[in-house]
Structure 1
Amino acid sequence: MSLTSRAATSLARQTGRQLAARPAASFQQHRNAANVAGNPNESHAHVTSPFTRGASGRQDTTVIPSFKRYRAGNEQGNKVFQYFMVGAFGGLTALGAKDTVQNFLVNMSASADVLAQAKVEVDLATIPEGKNVIIKWRGKPVFIRHRTADEIKDAENTDWQKLRDPQPDSDRVQKPEWLIMLGVCTHLGCVPIGEAGDFGGWFCPCHGSHYDISGRARKGPAPLNLEIPAYDFAEDNQVVIGT
């Protein structure tokens, strides 16, 4: 007999054995199902369901199972521990936030050299009448003009209501003889020249802006008057620029 014939014969025998065993297994399954249907209590005797109602054995899905064995022995002690942990982590978080904000404010605050220039004291006794002095304050030039009586009269008699930036001279000075303002042109930020221009005040050669003896824009592209910084007279002959 050849090898192919032997393999075919072996496969036929194995298939026959499987077909012969199927009826017996099917019969056993049918028998087991019949036993379960005839006596349900016997098949579930070893299971205790949490969803039973009394002695009837019917299922009740509204019954809540008991989880007592999963709970801790002292529920009050657990709550105290939880509150303690929440409070401790909350305190640590607050301390961290405080330290972060404090470091941020320290880094953003002005340095010592900037604070040193926040205020500038000027001795006015050294400025003669009719002269200009330029000082540096916060990186910007400041013009201090000791005006004469004629200059004060000319500044006060100007029809300021017709100017492009209407402002009376009294709003620009604390003392009529002292004019203090930033030396920055309001057009493009150049530094005007003192005692020059068509109005006896300041002239910006960059684009031809003219300011009068009160620092008001009178001619050229400058849209606004020269800015007046915050200052205060500490004494009669001493002024403090800056706040």
Structure 2
Amino acid sequence: MADHAGTEAVLPQGAEGAGEGVRRRDFINIAAVSAAGVGGVVTLLPLISQMAPSADVLAESSTEIDISAIQPGQAIKAIFRKQPVFIRNLTPAEIEDANKVDVGSLRDPESLKDRTKEGKENWLITMGVCTHLGCVPLGAGEGEVKGEFGGYFCPCHGSSYDTAARIRKGPAPKNLMVPEYAFTSDTIVKIG
């Protein structure tokens, strides 16, 4: 019987540190991928954050307007998100004129009921921006031209809107837009 106590196992040349070489290589790969990931995040973060709305836009994300002083037949201009808003207190005659129109004959078919809140049909709230090229129509201010349909008239290219702010004549493709709004009381409307 031979004595094996004093013999050592013979490993192939270079195999002694093979386990450690793999670990170092893995560490370097992980470190490089991690550095690239952190670099990507650091590069993209300012680009993404600059697309967020600024503080002044967030402050104007909604606005409350007191409508108690607006008499029937009058309109006011307000500002919402840096754009004009028309708030009009329609008279019974204006409501009747708007309801007489055959909705099917309109370019952008909407009834007055579609454009106002139930129980508040006399309050028409629209953005004051012509849907053709973005001019501000006339008709909300005292003595301004209201056009042949008694609503709003865009002086830039001649679009005419009726008392429900629906396009009736001219190049505008759509009615004046109705923003999101709600009545918080009988005299306060919150837009946005």
TM-score under structure 1 length normalisation? 0.64
Aligned residues: 174
- Structure 2 residue aligned with 1:117: 60
- Structure 2 residue aligned with 1:185: 130
- Structure 2 residue aligned with 1:237: 187
Q: Which moved more, 1:136-145 or 1:107-116?
A: 107-116
CA shift digits 1:23-61 (9 cap, x unpaired)? xxxxxxxxxxxxxxxxxxxxxxxxxxxxxxxxxxxxxxx
Runs of 4 or more off by more than 3 Å in structure 1? none
- Structure 2 residue aligned with 1:102: 45
2:116 is aligned with 1:173: yes
TM-score under structure 2 length normalisation? 0.79
CA shift digits 1:160-179 (9 cap, x unpaired)? 11112222222212231211
Alpha-carbon distance between aligned partners in 1 of 2:40 and 2:183, rounded to the nearest angstrom: 43
2:25 is aligned with 1:82: yes
- C-alpha deviation, 1:147, in angstroms: 1.4
Secondary structure, counterpart of 1:76 in structure 2: helix
Alpha-carbon distance between aligned partners in 1 of 2:63 and 2:92, rounded to the nearest angstrom: 27
| Percent of aligned positions that are identical | 45
- Structure 2 residue aligned with 1:29: none
Secondary structure, counterpart of 2:178 in structure 1: coil
Gaps of 5+ in 1: 1-67
Bigger fraction of residues in helix: 1
Secondary structure, counterpart of 2:76 in structure 1: strand
Secondary structure, counterpart of 1:193 in structure 2: coil
Gaps of 5+ in 2: 1-11, 140-144
Q: Which residue, out of 67, 70, 78, partners 1:127?
A: 70
2:168 is aligned with 1:218: yes
- Structure 1 residue aligned with 2:9: none
- C-alpha deviation, 1:72, in angstroms: 5.2
Alpha-carbon distance between aligned partners in 2 of 1:203 and 1:131, rounded to the nearest angstrom: 16
Q: Which moved more, 1:209-218 or 1:232-241?
A: 232-241
- C-alpha deviation, 1:139, in angstroms: 2.6
Alpha-carbon distance between aligned partners in 1 of 2:158 and 2:35, rounded to the nearest angstrom: 63
- C-alpha deviation, 1:74, in angstroms: 1.6
RMSD: 2.1
Secondary structure, counterpart of 1:225 in structure 2: coil
- Structure 2 residue aligned with 1:203: 153
Which AA in structure 2 matches 1:113?
A: D
Q: Which residue, out of 55, 58, 73, partners 2:16?
A: 73
Alpha-carbon distance between aligned partners in 2 of 1:109 and 1:205, rounded to the nearest angstrom: 35
- C-alpha deviation, 1:89, in angstroms: 2.5
Which AA in structure 2 matches 1:153?
A: E
- Structure 2 residue aligned with 1:228: 178
- C-alpha deviation, 1:180, in angstroms: 0.8
Alpha-carbon distance between aligned partners in 1 of 2:34 and 2:45, rounded to the nearest angstrom: 16
Alpha-carbon distance between aligned partners in 2 of 1:213 and 1:183, rounded to the nearest angstrom: 14
Q: Which is greater in Rg?
A: 1
Alpha-carbon distance between aligned partners in 2 of 1:95 and 1:207, rounded to the nearest angstrom: 53
Q: Which moved more, 1:231-240 or 1:145-154?
A: 231-240
Alpha-carbon distance between aligned partners in 2 of 1:188 and 1:153, rounded to the nearest angstrom: 30
Equivalent residue runs for 1:149-168 within 5 Å: 149-168=92-111
- Structure 2 residue aligned with 1:37: none
Alpha-carbon distance between aligned partners in 2 of 1:96 and 1:116, rounded to the nearest angstrom: 33
